[in-house]
Amino acid sequence: MLSYQPTPILQLRNELLDDAGVQLLCKREDLNHPAISGNKWWKLKYNLEEAARREKKTLLTFGGAYSNHIYATAAASHETGFKSVGIIRGEETLPLNKTLAFAQHCGMQLHYISRTQYREKDNPAFIQELHNKFGDFYLIPEGGTNEFAVKGCAEFGKQLLEEIDFDYLCLPVGTGGTIAGIIAGLEGKKEVIGFPVLKGGDFLKDEIEKLLQKYSNTLYGNWHLDASYHHGGYAKATPALLDFVKLMSDKHNLPLDAVYTGKLLWAVMDYVRQGKFRRGSTVLAVHTGGLQAVG
């Protein structure tokens, strides 16, 4: 079992929120584990259990050179006694960046493939090639999103419902696994708003619905995506966003990254500014971690 630290809830206060009559809470899930932080902890929890149930000794997964998922999977494998292999998109660059150096320090075997090869990551023939090279392994998809990730995030959603009184739940969206699980865990209660961090993120609606259908055979109507806050695309940031991230750190002691959580809080504050949250309501923003690349 992965170790887990209970996480605090930070109330953010400023004139904008006061004027709108909105209470904004931030669930600091980035503090749930030193290395397997935020949603990655919940996405890996049941994948690790399933790998153990199948008596696998090695975990294999995919990611880019700065992948939060690679970082977390390497740490989780080290903590729970699995070997790990990371299939990394692109060529090796030395010295290794902080993410890959940490993964290697945790014992992860790094294997670099071309971007063309990487597009084959879901191809059964390519997966068989990886089995031929690395032997028997438990496969975790890029970003960690599968039915076991949804199960873990559903458990997190239920926990939030029991612990916190809120009206809206907001979170950043990458692959859709976290929001799908939280929607399932809330079972139609509250309103969930996801902010895709990649350009053209509207396609994720279909992916989320597929995950929900597979996990609970239920489609809920209490959620939507707003894909207008990507700031140029995945891992891209505007100067204004970077200034905002610094402001949140300086004024509220809230560390954010510009890839996920910075875009989330920016979007939430813009919703407050536009009056999109009901006066007297409570908004819960979920800090999904991913701070290892910051600084």
- Are 104 and 206 members of one domain? no
Q: How far apart are CA 194 and CA 250, in angstroms?
A: 26
Of the residues 144, 173, 208, which one is the last residue of a structural domain?
A: 144
- Are 161 and 24 members of one domain? yes
- Are 281 and 163 members of one domain? yes
Does 3 fall in a domain?
no
Please state the three-class secondary structure of the chain as a single string.
CCCCCCCCEEEECCHHHHHHCCEEEEECHHHCCCCCCCHHHHHHHHHHHHHHHCCCCEEEEEECCCCHHHHHHHHHHHHHCCEEEEEEECCCCCCCCHHHHHHHHCCCEEEEECHHHHCCCCCHHHHHHHHHHHCCCEECCHHHCCHHHHHHHHHHHHHHHHHCCCCEEEEEECCCHHHHHHHHHHCCCCEEEEEECCCCHHHHHHHHHHHHHHHHCCCCCCEEECCCCCCCCCCCCCHHHHHHHHHHHHHHCCCCCCCCHHHHHHHHHHHHHCCCCCCCCEEEEECCCCCCCCC
- Are 99 and 67 members of one domain? yes
Q: Is the pTM of this model over 0.75?
A: yes
Q: Tell me the CATH number at 62.
A: 3.40.50.1100
Range of the domain at 206: 9-33+153-286
- Are 136 and 272 members of one domain? no
- Are 56 and 159 members of one domain? no
Of the residues 144, 179, 210, which one is the last residue of a structural domain?
A: 144
Q: How far apart are CA 289 and CA 174, in angstroms?
A: 13
- Are 190 and 273 members of one domain? yes
- Are 252 and 267 members of one domain? yes
**Chain position carrying tokens 């292999």:** 85
- Are 23 and 44 members of one domain? no
- Are 132 and 46 members of one domain? yes
- Are 198 and 280 members of one domain? yes
How many independent structural domains does the chain possess?
2
pLDDT tens digit at each of 295 positions of the chain: 899 999 999 999 999 999 999 999 999 999 999 999 999 999 999 999 999 999 999 999 999 999 999 999 999 999 999 999 999 999 999 999 999 999 999 999 999 999 999 999 999 999 999 999 999 999 999 999 999 999 999 999 999 999 999 999 999 999 999 999 999 999 999 999 999 999 999 999 999 999 999 999 998 999 999 999 999 999 899 999 999 999 999 999 999 999 999 999 999 999 999 999 999 999 999 999 988 755 4
- Are 161 and 133 members of one domain? no
Residues contacting residue 197 through CB under 8 Å, at least 6 positions apart? 172, 173, 174, 230, 234, 259, 260, 263
Burial of 170 per CB tally in 10 Å (0-12, 13-18, 19+)? buried
Of the residues 144, 162, 195, which one is the last residue of a structural domain?
A: 144
Does 273 fall in a domain?
yes
Does 4 fall in a domain?
no
Does 292 fall in a domain?
no
Residue 291: predicted pLDDT: 82
